[in-house]
Every structure is written in structure tokens, then in C-alpha cells.
Amino acid sequence: MILVPLAILFVAGQTPPAPATAPPPTEQTTAGSPAETVEAFLSFNKVSRLGTGPARALVSGELTGMTARTLGPLASPDKIVAAGPRLSVARLPATGENPADIYLYVAQSDAGAWTISAVRALALPPFLSTLRNDLIQRVTLTDKEAHTLAQINLAMQSDAEHRAWFAEHRTELGALRDLALAQPAPPGTARAIDGEAAQAALKPINASSLEVSDQGAVIITLGSIGDNSVGFLFADTPNKLPVMDGHDYIWIEAVGGGWHLFKST
């Protein structure tokens, strides 16, 4: 697992000054819901005041003791999902200023207060961008190079782009799901589906792998480097879904019909 350090969200060693005309946020030290906590955290971030006492009261876990005044430009959340009775995850969507989707983990204490306990993003290594730029600049590409470029492009897309991709390729994903579920295996057995039929179905959509988890979910990975991956999984019942706790799966979003967009790190 690769934990995404806060330093990736702003230039190390540089603390952007607070806007001269920005009004200070309300200095509340508790919040009654995940949405209120995220809103308060982002308001402090916007005016470079994350290092103040009231802002520090909004964080916990691995963020305890953070000294950064700001994490740079962050969008407002477009979705907040429950990951458990006392854990929610807020997605800050990718923007032009910050091309990566950011996930804020919001945990509830025994006393009932909600705090930001972790920050996550898909941790793809820098060499992928270097390789992508190199392939884009070439006049001609071999079939293998073109496939590699397409897979890198898929892996680097935003969640919004992945959802659009899903809508365009839902039929092909359904065929892959049916192929995986047609393979006999004892219940509770994880298995990779890597025969010729699977490879022939994966390549046209530039997906990289097909597998069934020990819980029975069909997992179609679009791109991955080590533990860092993005793709779609099919689970017809909630008990087949993996746990979203920030230590393996960092985002799981229902997109319809039992399908879910996932990111892991």
C-alpha cells in the first residue's frame, strides 16, 4: 500500500499566502456531520489557516499535528458516501488546478464528533507520465505501444471520465462479467480469469485483467501499478463488496446495475 502524503497536494517547502480579501471561516471546533466537517476544513484550507487551533480540531488520526497552512486549490465535494457506521468518504473532484480526485476520510469519534482522519488519492508513479509523453510524441506506434498508451490514459483519467467510459463500454463489461461467472470454482475462492477468451475480450477496451474475488465480486482492472489500480467491479449483493477503509480500496462508487467504480492503493 502506498499512502499519499500531504506533500503531493502542494509544493513542498512553499506555503501559499492567504488571499488578502478572503474572509476568515467560522472558527467552530466541532461539526455535526461529515458534510459540515469537510466544508469547515475546506474553508480553512482556502484562506491558508489549516495550521490554526480551530482547524486542527477538525483533523485526527494520521493528520494529527499537521503543520501545513494549506493543501492548495481543492474543489468542493461532489459526493460523500458512507463507508461504515462511523466512517464516510468525501470526493473532491479533479479540476484544472488539481487533476487528481482527492478523497477525504471523515471519522466519527466515540464522543460523536466528525473529523478528517486521512487524505487519499490514486498514487500512480511519475514515470507513467514520462512514458505517456514519450509515446504521444512518437510519429508512429507499434500495436503494443498503442495499447500501452491507451491503458495509461485510462489509468490517469478522473472519476468523471471513468464514469463516462463505463457508459460507453457497459456491454463489453457485461460480457466480461458473464465470462468470469461462467468459470466453475468452489465458493470463497479468488481466481484470475486469464484464458484466451478473457484476453480477447479485455484487449479491445484496453482493460488489463479480469478476476473474481473470494467474496464473489467480478473485478475488471483498467490500469494498475503494484497495489495501485482503477477499474470496475460487479457485486450483485452488498456482502460481495470489498471494504473501503483507505488502506486498500480508497474509493468505491455505485454506477448502476450492481457495477461500481473502484480505486485502490
Q: What is the pLDDT of residue 40?
A: 97
> What would the DSSP string read from start to end of 26-38?
P--S--SSHHHHH
- Is the alpha carbon torsion for 107, 113, 116, 117 positive or negative? negative
Give me 261's grid cell.
467504480
Q: What is the pLDDT of residue 4?
A: 39
Q: What is the pLDDT of residue 218?
A: 97
Averaged in consecutive runs of 10 residues, what is the pLDDT profile of the chain (265 residues)?
36 33 39 90 96 94 91 94 96 84 96 95 80 84 86 89 96 97 86 94 94 96 84 96 94 97 94
Fold (topology level) of 6-120: Nuclear Transport Factor 2; Chain: A, (3.10.450)
Distance between start and end Cα atoms, the chain: 5
Domain boundaries, the chain: 6-120, 127-264
With CA atoms as reference, report the closest residue to 116 among 77, 85, 89: 89
